[in-house]
Amino acid sequence: MPVFDMPLETMRNYRPAREEPADFDAFWADTLAETRARDLNATFEPADFGLETLDVYDVSFSGYNGDRIRGWYMRPRGAAQPLPGVVQYIGYSGGRGYPHEWLPFPAAGFATLVMDTRGQGSGRRGDTPDVVDAINPSVSGKMTQGILDPKTYYYRRLYSDAARAVEAIRSRADVDPERIAVAGASQGGGLSIAAAGLVPDVALCLPDVPFLSHFRRAVEITPDGPYPEIASYLQMYRDRVENVFHTLSYFDGLNFAARMSARAFYSVGVMDTVCPPSTVFASYNHVPGQKEIREYYFNNHEGGGTQHQVEKIRFLRDLWLS
């Protein structure tokens, strides 16, 4: 796949104006207050998957609207002191799968909570349904579910779940609440940016090839899903363009990145046709604090792959375990 986006030197300085509604902060304050009005009630049931060096727990906690969100919690067996924690979010369409699929962070010494993604479970099995009232007609996928109103949009529920996952890992006595990182790739990267913007004392944010940023540009230029779900919707509902992008402005990673106090460690694939690199740099360049980004020039949406996983573990260990 050839380079299709802006020149790399241009993207490194690309910081577009943010389309932010005037009530952005009030909307999210009200959403989180509504969510937190329900008891978190985080439960951690021991689970045996034959992993001799890790303790594994089947997790459940109350997310948006009190809906029970599933997950996995893993930590190195025998570690006595409170450990730094990582909340791991999942890419688009995937569910929590099995603990064996999430070993790098706990095997490297970090307490890890993997949050299941409500209503998703293709490619990797999911265990959390998305229970909603009637919403607008939508195209296949999640991108246009409830898109005519930010209060009904699918990602309002999912971003709220992501914030509650941070609260769930902090409820553990064996986790240091001041050393929490949020991480994920693609949709998981977008969720990590949202969580870092919604939970201001998260320490580190590690988004890889993040989705859910700079929506209008992404929808206009990318040939590969899932952003084209929005374009397909607007092909049919031609009179709803501004309505749709107004809703999306409440969920744009640029606006959450600008509110992030966490130290950020991004990655980007310069030939990424799923989450265009200009949209990743647009988010990164709005992060106000300490940050760095790894560029993988000849890679598409796989980004740095396992090589970058090594980089992330080194980054975390140098900060917290050295």
Q: Rounded distance, CA 201 to CA 26, Å? A: 19
Catalytic annotation on 301? yes
Q: Rounded distance, CA 63 to CA 160, Å? A: 7
Q: Do 245 and 218 contact (CB within 8 A), yes or no?
A: no
Q: Where do the H-state alpha helices sit in 214-288?
A: 215-221, 228-236, 241-249, 253-257, 277-284
Report how far apart, in Å, the C-alpha atoms of 202 and of each of 28, 221, 260, 281, 313 are. 17, 32, 9, 21, 18
Q: Rounded distance, CA 40 to CA 133, Å? A: 22
Q: Which helix (H) or strand (E) holds 75?
A: strand 68-76
Q: Which helix (H) or strand (E) holds 205?
A: strand 204-208
From its phi and psi, is residue 131 left (phi > 0), alpha (psi between -120 and 50) or beta?
beta
Catalytic annotation on 286? no
3-state secondary structure of 56: strand
Q: Rounded distance, CA 261 to CA 288, Å? A: 7
Catalytic annotation on 267? no
Q: Rounded distance, CA 257 to CA 289, Å? A: 10
Select from 137, 150, 308, 167 the least CA-distant residue to 229: 137
Question: Which residue has tokens 């049931």?
Answer: 45
Residue partners of 293: CB distance under 8 A and separation at least 6: 265, 266, 267, 268, 280, 281, 284
Q: Per the residue annotation, which of 62, 186, 249, 278 is the catalytic one? A: 186
Q: Per the residue annotation, which of 214, 286, 301, 308 is the catalytic one? A: 301
Q: Where do the H-state alpha helices sit in 111-213?
A: 154-170, 187-198
Q: Per the residue annotation, which of 67, 272, 283, 286 is the catalytic one? A: 272
Catalytic residues: 186, 272, 301
